[in-house]
Copies of this chain bind each other. A is one copy, B any other.
Amino acid sequence: MLVEQNQKKHTELWKVSDNVMELKSSIIREILKVSSKPGVINFAGGLPAPELFPIEELKEIAVQVLDKYGPDCLQYSLSRGLPALRELLAKRATERGTPSGIDNILISNGAQQAIELVARAFIAPGDYILTENPTYVGALQAFNYYQAKYTTVDIDDEGMNVDQAIEKIERFKPKLIYTISNFQNPTGITMSLKRREQLVEVARNYNIPILDDNPYGDIRFSGERLPTLKSIGGNEVIAVRTFSKTLAPGMRIGWINGPENIIAQFEKVKQCADLHTSTFCQYIVYEYVNQGLLEPHIEHIKVDYRTKRDIMLKGLQEHFPPGISWTEPEGGLFLWLELPKQLSSVDLFEEAIENKVAYVYGQPFFPDGGGLNTLRLNFATASHEQIAKGIKRLGELFTKYV
């Protein structure tokens, strides 16, 4: 094919990322295979629970938006996003401890585009990014495209190990600190207040921006809400948020809260990239939030997810053998298991599927490799009964090998 021969440059770009991309793709293939097998209880997905999507409310809102705004909700709009929505998001951030104006906000196609805009701005080929180990694979995909390298830091019950971060920063001089501070994907761990303050101090001392990827922060169903990294770190921190986990991912509405000069640059890039995010979806989300429908909806999600998390934790306590540990997240969608060192969650995956239960093995979440004995469970999407049954099946499987 002739076109192919012109793609040398693209192939070059892709070189570094192919490995992680392929790993990620193989997980997705496994998940798809699993989902299509009848009777398999699926803890593998990264999705929010679809039965909680407020379909009836959105039906009304969609009609209202078309009635109220007419052609405006179907026309071209601004690259930064709908002013009314940006104003609303700035107001909410201010109320929650991050003083923000409309010029601090840019609407993106979900959080993924926000992460990619940051990667474009800060990462040149060979630049290091400091990440938690493990971390979110979707962000790595965006970073990989810009040929980032990674230096990683362990994560414990309080989040990223900041002392280790300092060592890595001195050694690798990363250009960006990437963290998921709340109910981290994949571990479910939340960074403690002390660590947040320490991390901001480190970022200031070494002059490295923090990208705080925070899709789950609003879904806290136990413990106390902590100040966000952005509210502590101000202009040191670029906060990436999304309605994908609180309202619906299919809307593709995320946003960035960042310094005005950075947002102005992102606006230019966004304009080149796709002009702007769907006007219609932005109006729908705006009306949904502005009419006060989001908060009660999030409360509803929280009750559901908390109940499911509790069922899963109970099952783990009852059916899992000693030597396996897990996190107890106070929010989000995921919890994280560590098997004894000698066990491989990759090797056991097939047998899990034979036993009609699916998880994501942890390995691909580790930029530096490792994590063969770890796995992620999504507690948000299965039914109560399925969770109880699925965890029992997993417990029986692991008991055979521990």
**Chain B neighbourhood of A51, CB < 8 A:** 71
Residue of B nearest to A64 (CB): B59
**Chain B neighbourhood of A281, CB < 8 A:** 278, 280-281
Convert A223-251 into 0s and 1s, putting 1 for each residue whose CB lies closer than 8 angstroms to a CB of B.
00000000000011010000010001111
Interface residues of A in 259-290 (CB under 8 A from B): 259, 261-262, 265, 268-269, 271-281, 284
Question: Is residue A188 contacting chain B, with contact meaning CB distance below 8 A?
Answer: no
User: Of B4, B250, B275, which contacts A112 at CB under 8 A?
Assistant: B275
Bound together, the chains give a CA A244 to CA B208 distance in angstroms of 40
**Chain B neighbourhood of A265, CB < 8 A:** 7, 10, 14
Contact across chains for B62 and A121 when beta carbons are under 8 A apart: no
Contact across chains for B75 and A58 when beta carbons are under 8 A apart: no
Contact across chains for A59 and B55 when beta carbons are under 8 A apart: no
A136-144, A328-336, A359-367, A370-378: which lies at the interface: A136-144
Bound together, the chains give a CA A274 to CA B139 distance in angstroms of 10
**Chain B neighbourhood of A207, CB < 8 A:** 2, 5-6
Evaluate whether A144 and B272 lie within 8 angstroms (CB atoms) in the complex, with A62-B63, A235-B1, A281-B280 already known.
yes
User: Of B3, B122, B284, which contacts A10 at CB under 8 A?
Assistant: B122
- Whole-angstrom distance from the CB of A291 to the nearest CB of chain B? 17
Question: Is residue A204 contacting chain B, with contact meaning CB distance below 8 A?
Answer: yes
**Chain B neighbourhood of A53, CB < 8 A:** 70-71, 74-75
Question: Is residue A324 contacting chain B, with contact meaning CB distance below 8 A?
Answer: no
Question: Is residue A302 contacting chain B, with contact meaning CB distance below 8 A?
Answer: no
Residue of B nearest to A24 (CB): B271
Question: Is residue A311 contacting chain B, with contact meaning CB distance below 8 A?
Answer: no
Q: How many copies does the complex hold?
A: 2
Total chain A interface residues with beta-carbon distance under 8 A? 83
**Chain B neighbourhood of A120, CB < 8 A:** 10, 13
Evaluate whether A2 and B204 lie within 8 angstroms (CB atoms) in the complex, with A9-B124, A66-B58, A274-B109 already known.
yes
Interface residues of A in 281-305 (CB under 8 A from B): 281, 284
Evaluate whether A6 and B175 lie within 8 angstroms (CB atoms) in the complex, with A1-B259, A53-B74, A269-B145 already known.
yes
Contact across chains for B62 and A249 when beta carbons are under 8 A apart: no
Question: Is residue A47 contacting chain B, with contact meaning CB distance below 8 A?
Answer: yes
Hey, which bits of chain A sit against chain B, CB under 8 A? Answer: 1-7, 9-10, 13-14, 21, 46-47, 50-51, 53, 55, 58-59, 62-63, 66-67, 70-77, 108-110, 112-113, 116, 120-124, 127, 138, 141-142, 144-145, 175-176, 204, 207-209, 235-236, 238, 244, 248-252, 258-259, 261-262, 265, 268-269, 271-281, 284
For the complex with contacts A9-B127, A273-B273, 5 further pairs of A-B residues with Cβ separation under 8 Å are A9-B124, A47-B75, A51-B71, A74-B249, A112-B274
Residue pairs across A and B with Cβ atoms less than 8 A apart, 26 shown, are A1-B259, A1-B261, A2-B207, A3-B209, A3-B261, A4-B259, A9-B122, A10-B120, A14-B265, A47-B76, A50-B72, A53-B70, A53-B74, A55-B74, A62-B62, A62-B63, A76-B250, A77-B250, A109-B275, A116-B274, A141-B272, A144-B272, A248-B280, A250-B278, A274-B274, A280-B281
